[in-house]
Amino acid sequence: MPINTKLKHALITNVLMAGVVLGMCAWQVNAQDQSSKMTNSSLGHSFSERKVNSPVAYFENRNKALKSVRDENWLAAKPLLQSLTNQYPDDGDTWYMRAVTHFQLGEWQNAIEAYEKTLALGTILSGIPKASAPSNDIMIKIAAAYAELGKTSAAMHWINRSLEARYDGKHQLADNQHFKNIADSPAFQKLVGSFVPKDLSRVQSWRFDLNYLVSEIKRLHVNIYHSVTQEQFEEMVVNIHKKIPSLSDKEIVFEFMKLVSALGNGHNFIIPTFNDKGSFNQLPLQFYKFSDGLFIVNADKEYQSLIGYKVVAIGNATAEQALKKVEVVNARDNEMQQLWLGPHYLSLPEVLKGLDIVKNASIVPLTLVNGKGEQRVVTPSIRAMKFNGFPKLPALADHDGIHNLKINKQYWYQHQPKQASLYIQYNYVHSNPSFSFEQFNQKLREQITKADVQNIILDIRHNAGGNGSTYPPILKTLAQFEALRPQGKLFVIVGRNTFSAAHNLLLDINRITDAIIVGEPSGSRPNALSEAGWVKLPYSKTLAIISSQFHQASKAEDHRIWVAPHIPISLSSSDYFSGKDPALEAITKIIKPL
């Protein structure tokens, strides 16, 4: 029966007020209203018009300072940065480097003053160790410096300002050593989300988590109601609140998953594995959706013999029906993400039970068919869920195709002299401290020149993102290749889990080069809600990710639902298990062998 409108709004008010009564922060920030809000003002901040006596010397010292900071040589950087900011106080980057330097030297008041200058001017400088340039990160550094000085109220003020600016590392603040002297303060614990009132019943504790989750969604999420109406969202919250007494811990977490998924877009999800309460279990199998159906592609040791079997049914649902049902827990940017992550959710028994695919989360019968058409029913044992990132199609143990070699390595390359090609596999958008992405790209550029490379194949189909500030070196490499080899060909292989920072890279490549895109449509939209705002629920310690930014990575008028390939390629189970790579085979046919 539909809830009476007045009664429903009264229930919603009671649910949210309960959070305040139980100790949650009374202030609420709706990120939807702050998506375009700046943390500073460009008006009223006058240009100093200060003359630099020797612009060349200034530039040289600026480069020396930057190198010293990146080398973590803080004592060498300090006098250079003091001189630079005194000569020319209008550069947010030099103030930022100075602030980081003072902070690392424990010069807290100087760090605060330099960070405040940085906030006033702004900076996007990346590659600075032990630091992060977004304004809300800088505010946390100011708070930390005040805490070190014993100025608790100022520290709390700056934490609050950062949270209002959608700081997305709130879950880590309780363990931040700079706040150790105020860590036991209930006011601090309430502010950073680690406070749980004493003497709460189990039901009250889970309702406290629900209230906290809703408040964090409203604080972090940009354009909350783009996939669900406010009325629908609030009704879901009220229904979960009412149902909590009758649900097990795992069933409550499943309801939280559905709530977060209702928000839409691919950076919204619950990770139900590191909880103190309600952690999920998992089948000892990995599924993958090929063009000809759902198959087992990986398994724990006991079930290795099942690799290669087609999944016909799970519990009381066909494989197709089961995949359709998990859409309600799989928030996504487009339907390629359903192909990517739908099979992952099918491996979670609590999800299967919550969707009535199985009656008992401890018993998950699978109907399987092998390559000979022989059918069998298997009920694998259940184990605790493991999560090291969302799955990628695993490398095959018995095949040595180049695409299959090192998919768990961040980045690597191989020269293919017969095709005058350089194959580059880039699997994770990060820079390895032992061999940085810049160093890797220097090697690529040397190889391109030395080996007379005429074709580049960049494979990012296994790349689901990471730190987007680290990928510019590959853009320089590809731009240089096209400038040096105007008759050469650049291929980029993409797929369903080309996502997040890797998707932004794809868009930049598409914009500045004449790359030939090969494979499946990408796993995101060019312009999308993105960024990972972490949330840890105070009672259960359940982890959630909430989209906290809108990324316009393409033109404002770009309404594409994905980046479509110029050469469409689908992958069948027979291709995969026989070690074939249709994408590379197509590229090989286009490249004329020497």
Q: Can you tell me the distance from the alpha carbon of 173 to that of 48, in angstroms, rounded to the nearest whole number? A: 37
Distance, in Å, from the CA atom of 82 to the CA atom of 191, rounded to the nearest integer, reads 35
What's the rounded Cα separation, in Å, for the pair 472 and 508? 9
Instruction: Provide the token pair at 66.
Output: 């930057």
SS (H, E, C) 419-478: HCEEEEEECCECCECCECHHHHHHHHHHHHHHCCCCEEEEECCCCCCECHHHCHHHHHHH
**Residue 582 structure tokens:** 């249709």
For residue 17, what pLDDT band results from cuts at 50, 70 and 90?
A: very low
- pLDDT (mean) for 19-25: 42
Cβ-Cβ contacts under 8 Å for 415 (sequence gap 6 or more): 421, 422, 423, 447, 451, 453
| Domain ranges (residues) in the chain | 281-384, 402-524+562-590
Amino acid at 100: V
pLDDT at 3 over 60: no
Residue 34 in this model has a pLDDT that exceeds 70: no
What is the predicted pLDDT for the residue at 558? 86
- Tell me the C-alpha to C-alpha distance, in Å, between residue 389 and each of 168, 383, 386, 570: 18, 18, 9, 24
Distances (CA, A) of 485 to 420, 473, 478, 480: 12, 18, 10, 8
Residue 270 has pLDDT above 50, yes or no: yes
Task: Kindly state the percentage of the chain with pLDDT values over 70.
Answer: 92
pTM for this one? 0.89
User: Which pLDDT score, from 0 to 100, does residue 391 have?
Assistant: 87
Residue 280 has pLDDT above 50, yes or no: yes
In whole angstroms, how far apart are CA 404 and each of 261, 395, 397?
A: 33, 5, 9
As a whole number, mean pLDDT of residues 470-498 equals 96
- What integer is the mean pLDDT of 476-486? 95
| Per-residue pLDDT at 180 | 96
pLDDT recorded at residue 32: 53
Assigned CATH class of 281-384: mainly beta
Residue 15 has pLDDT above 60, yes or no: no
Give the model's confidence band at 35: pLDDT under 50 very low, under 70 low, under 90 confident, else very high: low
Whether 403 has a pLDDT exceeding 70, the answer reads no
Chain segment 517-547, per-residue pLDDT in tens: 999 999 998 988 777 789 999 999 999 999 8
Task: Output the CATH code of domain 402-524+562-590.
Answer: 3.90.226.10
Query: What are the distances in angstroms from CA 578 to CA 291, 343, 401, 408?
Result: 15, 21, 10, 20
Of 249, 341, 338, residue with least CA distance to 537: 249
d(CA 552, CA 558): 9
Query: What residues are paired with 528 via a beta bridge?
Result: 551
Residue-wise pLDDT for 226-262, tens only, equals 889 999 999 999 999 999 999 999 999 999 999 999 9
Average pLDDT of the segment spanning 53-61: 96
Tell me the angle at which helices 135-148 and 108-121 cross, rounded to the nearest 10 degrees. Answer: 160
Select the more confidently predicted residue: 15 or 168: 168
Predicted local confidence at residue 46, as pLDDT: 82
Checking if the pLDDT of 31 tops 70, the result is: no
Token pair belonging to 590: 């286009």
- Indicate the average pLDDT of the chain: 91
pLDDT (0 to 100) of residue 41:
82
Q: What percent of the chain has pLDDT over 90?
A: 79
Non-local CB neighbours of 114 within 8 Å, separated by 6+ positions: 85, 95, 96, 98, 99, 102
pLDDT band at 443 (very low <50, low <70, confident <90, very high): very high
- Cα separation, 182 vs 351, in Å, equals 40
Element (H, E) at 503: helix 501-512
**Which pLDDT band, with edges at 50, 70 and 90, does 177 fall under?**
very high
Other CB atoms within 10 Å distance of the CB of residue 124: 10
Cα gap 534→216, rounded to integer Å:
9
Measured CA to CA, the distance from residue 222 to residue 209 in angstroms comes to 21
- In this prediction, residue 549 carries a pLDDT of 79
C-beta contacts of 156-163 below 8 A and 24+ residues apart: 156/182, 156/187, 156/188, 156/191, 159/191, 159/192, 160/27, 160/191, 162/136, 162/137, 163/29, 163/136, 163/191, 163/219
**Are 252 and 63 spatial neighbours (Cβ–Cβ below 8 Å)?**
no
Give the pLDDT confidence score for residue 195 in this predicted structure.
Answer: 93
pLDDT tens per residue across span 282-311: 999 999 999 999 999 999 999 999 999 999
SS (H, E, C) 102-150: HHHCCCHHHHHHHHHHHHHHCCCCCCCCCCCCCHHHHHHHHHHHHHHCC
Percentages helix, strand, coil for the chain (3-state, rounded to 5) are: 45, 15, 40
The DSSP call for residue 382 is P
